[in-house]
Amino acid sequence: MFSPPQRLLSGGELRARGRRSGPAVICVNGGQRAEVDGTWSASLEWLVDRLAPRFPGLCFAELRYRVKSWARLDSCVEDAREAIRAIGASRTLLVGFSMGGAVAVVCADEPSVEVVVGLAPWLPEQVPLAALRGRRLVVVHGSLDRALPGIPGVSAESSRRGVARAQALGVEGEHTVVTGAVHGLALRAPWGRPVPLPGAYRLAGLIEAEVARFRGDG
């Protein structure tokens, strides 16, 4: 179970589970065009519920922005930096979902960050990638992910271009597309629990392998 949310200096919130010492996996949510209050992500909650029992030596944390909108990307980045500093891990892996991918790569220059994992990340040309130098970038994306009228999404081709831009800067980068997977891992059911989407287990398995590598399992 997550600890009670912690208010950050920026005004965002952080919740964590596991030991608040040693390495940490910090999960960064997506966003939208409209400027709305931040929420806890069903996809990231489902992912942490799956991974935390497998890696009891790691701290897992999730960020809730003040405002979750790409129109307020700078404030989302500020919230993420405060979350990284509040956890205070010796080593950090960032998981950025959708717009959170852009937030995570901008924050990759925080001293403890070693790896950024993008889950269907939004990496448009205007997002700078220089902060990834010296870090590792791993992107996993669903083949059926795309933006549709009224439905958020990011194409796998767009994240592939982002990885290619990073590689051109000398960043170690990988891009994997999961056939049949969609945007995200889960939706929140009316009773409050996250329910997995098509391809969720395969996407999560790739992220789990990267977390294992980060922990030092291989």
Digitized pLDDT (tens) for each residue of the chain, 218 residues in all:
777 889 999 989 999 998 777 899 999 998 777 666 667 899 999 999 999 999 999 999 999 998 776 677 788 999 999 999 999 999 999 999 999 999 999 999 999 999 999 999 999 999 999 999 999 999 999 999 987 766 678 999 999 999 999 999 999 999 999 999 999 999 999 988 999 999 999 999 999 999 999 998 64
Written as one letter, the residue type at 190 is P
- Give, as one character, the DSSP assignment of residue 44: H
Instruction: Please tell me the pTM assigned to this model.
Output: 0.94
- pLDDT, residue 149, reads 67
- pLDDT, residue 19, reads 77
Spell out the domain ranges in the chain. 6-215
- pLDDT, residue 151, reads 67
Contact 206, 176 (CB under 8 A): yes
Two tokens, residue 189 = 């059911």
- pLDDT, residue 217, reads 63
Contact 73, 103 (CB under 8 A): yes
C-alpha angle with apex 161: 160 to 167, nearest 5 degrees? Answer: 90
Top CATH class of 6-215 equals alpha beta
Q: Are strands 113-119 and 59-64 parallel, antiparallel or unpaired?
A: unpaired
Instruction: For residue 116, give the nearest of 133, 135, 98, 130 by alpha carbon.
Output: 135
- pLDDT, residue 70, reads 61
Rg, C-alpha atoms of the chain? 15
Written as one letter, the residue type at 198 is P
Distance CA 193, CA 46 (A): 8
Contact 29, 62 (CB under 8 A): yes
- pLDDT, residue 36, reads 62
